[in-house]
Structure formats: C-alpha cells, structure tokens
C-alpha cells in the first residue's frame, strides 16, 4: 500500500496507535517504491517510458511468442535513463529500455504452473540499438500513454508473512489502511516496494513455480515443500505491477492486477529472462 509523503512521515505514530508495542514491526517494514502514473497520449514509438504503443527491440530480436507460436502483447516500456531503482534495491541496467510482454488475448498465464513462463517476457534493450517493431496482427495492441513516475513509500498488506508478529485483527489493519490511503486512487501501477494484493502474497509462489513446482490454486504456503523453500522466497522483488486500467484497455480478469517479479541476484546480473509473473483478480 502506498503512503503520501505526509503519511510516510507519520507512519511510526500511526503504527503505534493501532498496534501498540508491535507498531515498530510495521514501521520497519516500509519500502521505497516507484509509482507510475498514466499521463497524456504520446507517439507510439516514443523512446521514453510509456504504457502501450509500439515495442522498441533490437533489430535481430524475434517477437516473443508462446510455444504454440501465439504472439505476446506489448504492455509497457521502462527507460532506465529516467526511472531508477529506489534505495536498497539493485540498480537497473544503465541506458536500457525494459520491454514487458504478456499474452493479453486469452490471459492464459497466471504464474501458478511452471509451464506458464511461456506467457510473458521481459526484454532488456540497449537504448542505442532499438528498432520499432510492429506487433503481429494476432497480438492485442494498446494505445501509447506517457509514463510519469514518483518515489513513494509502501507498507505490506496484513497477509504478508513479514507481519505475522502483529497479531492484529483484520478490522484494525483495515482502519490503518483507511487512515493512510486518503485520496490515493487506482490504477496502481508500480515498480519495486510492496505490491497491492488482490489475493494472497506471491513471493513463495514465485519461488515454487519458477523451480518447477506446481502451486495449484496459488496458495504456495500449502505446498509440502513450502517451509524448505521459504528462505529463497525472500529474494524475490516486485519488478513491475500493472493494474487494470480502462483508459489503456487493460482488464485483467475481473479488475485484477499482473505482477512481474525478479530475484535480487537476477536483477544484479540483468537476467530479466528469469522474471516470473503472477496474475491475480477478484
């Protein structure tokens, strides 16, 4: 959940008011995030950060497809010359465009099955070597909107494992969220920080599914090897969160959100091919 600047400064006071001696647990869990705002429309091939439009790829790079040959849809482009990792997160590669793709037609990949990897792609493109590539006719195309960004503070949802020590009922936590949310409204597009959960926490699901373990309904904690693999789950960072956004034409399931995750060590080595995606909806 995102905090305003004023609320971020008051987080400690509010956390203690709602949770007493356990308040510092919540206060210490705050993470910096980059909020992404949809602004005005822009040229389809704009080299800056944007939602939708035409993908800029290396000249020799094939358009990403599923194993069956169905083309993915281009969703967003992040310019690392403009948008930087917040404090505490490995740096994004310099002078690079990050191109994000998903199978947006049938929305087949939800990230619970190890085989779902075919349904998304994150492609790093050296900014000096880009070529505008028109999407195949079978891919869903979206209009181009300029992407603005600001650094914000986020706190975890009550269901995140890190907050297990709070022992607070749902109503108390919701009241804190209501006190902090104020006028912040969807869509919530974001890089890094804590995700806006639609369902349950995702890091363990990423850890299991990316290692070839099917997590079924997405409840990774129910898997018999969950405790064994849990330490690796903490390595996963939220790379990009894309919310349902009617203006762009994004409706993820029933007003859901898609989340791209990456291991800290993979971000350090720019292994964006190892990113994992989770789809959540109501």
Task: Report the pLDDT value the prediction gives residue 156, as an integer from 0 to 100.
Answer: 86
Look up residue 216 and give its DSSP letter.
T
Work out the pLDDT band at 195, boundaries 50, 70, 90. Answer: very high
Task: Report the run of H or E that residue 260 belongs to, with start and end.
Answer: strand 257-263
- Split into its structural domains, the chain has a count of 1
Give me the mean pLDDT over the 237-247 stretch.
98
Reduced 3-state DSSP string for 205-230: HHHHHHCCCCCCCCCHHHCCCHHHHH
Over the range 105-140, which residues count as b (16 or more CB within 10 Å of their CB) and which as e?
eebebbbbeeebbbbbbbbbbeeeebeebebeeebb
Tally of residues, the chain: 282
**pLDDT value of position 162:** 77
| Gap between the Cα atoms of 115 and 105, Å rounded | 18
Q: pLDDT tens digits, residue range 94-114?
A: 999 999 999 999 999 999 999
Q: What is the CATH number of the domain that holds 19?
A: 2.30.320.10
* Structural domain boundaries enclosing 134: 2-280
Bridge partners for 122 per DSSP: 100
Whole-prediction pTM: 0.93
Look at residue 263 in the predicted model and tell me its pLDDT: 98
Q: Yes or no: say if 3 and 153 are a contact pair by the CB < 8 Å rule.
A: yes
- Most confident listed range (65-69, 158-162, 214-218): 65-69
Give the tens place of pLDDT for each residue, 152-182. 888 888 888 877 766 666 677 777 766 666 6
Beta-ladder partners of 187: none
Residue 210 has pLDDT above 60, yes or no: yes
Cβ 31 vs Cβ 24: under 8 Å:
no
Tens digit of pLDDT for each residue in 3-39? 666 566 667 777 777 677 667 777 888 899 999 999 9
Query: Across the chain, what does the average pLDDT equal?
Result: 89
């Amino acid at each position: 959940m995102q905090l305003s600047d004023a609320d971020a400064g008051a987080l400690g006071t509010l956390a203690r008011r709602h949770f007493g001696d356990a308040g510092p647990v919540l206060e210490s869990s705050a993470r910096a995030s980059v909020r992404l705002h949809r602004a005005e429309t822009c040229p389809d091939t704009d080299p800056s950060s944007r939602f939708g439009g035409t993908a800029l790829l290396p000249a020799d790079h094939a358009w990403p497809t599923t194993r069956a040959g169905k083309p993915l849809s281009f969703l967003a482009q992040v310019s690392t010359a403009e948008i930087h990792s917040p404090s505490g997160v490995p740096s994004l590669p310099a002078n690079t465009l990050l191109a994000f793709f998903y199978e947006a037609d049938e929305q087949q990949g939800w990230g619970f099955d190890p085989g779902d990897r075919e349904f998304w792609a994150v492609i790093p493109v050296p900014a000096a070597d880009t070529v505008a590539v028109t999407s195949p006719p079978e891919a869903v195309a979206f209009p181009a909107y300029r992407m603005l960004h600001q650094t914000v503070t986020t706190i975890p949802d009550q269901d995140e494992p890190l907050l297990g020590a709070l022992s607070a009922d749902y109503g108390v936590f919701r009241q804190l969220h209501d006190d902090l949310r104020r006028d912040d409204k969807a869509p919530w597009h974001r890089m890094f920080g804590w995700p806006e959960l639609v369902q349950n926490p995702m890091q363990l699901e990423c850890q299991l599914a990316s290692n070839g373990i099917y997590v079924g309904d997405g409840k990774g904690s129910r898997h018999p090897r969950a405790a064994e693999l849990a330490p690796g789950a903490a390595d996963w960072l939220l790379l990009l969160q894309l919310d349902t956004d009617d203006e762009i034409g994004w409706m993820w399931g029933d007003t859901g959100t898609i989340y791209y995750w990456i291991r800290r060590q993979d971000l350090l080595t720019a292994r964006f091919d190892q990113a994992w995606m989770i789809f959540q909806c109501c």
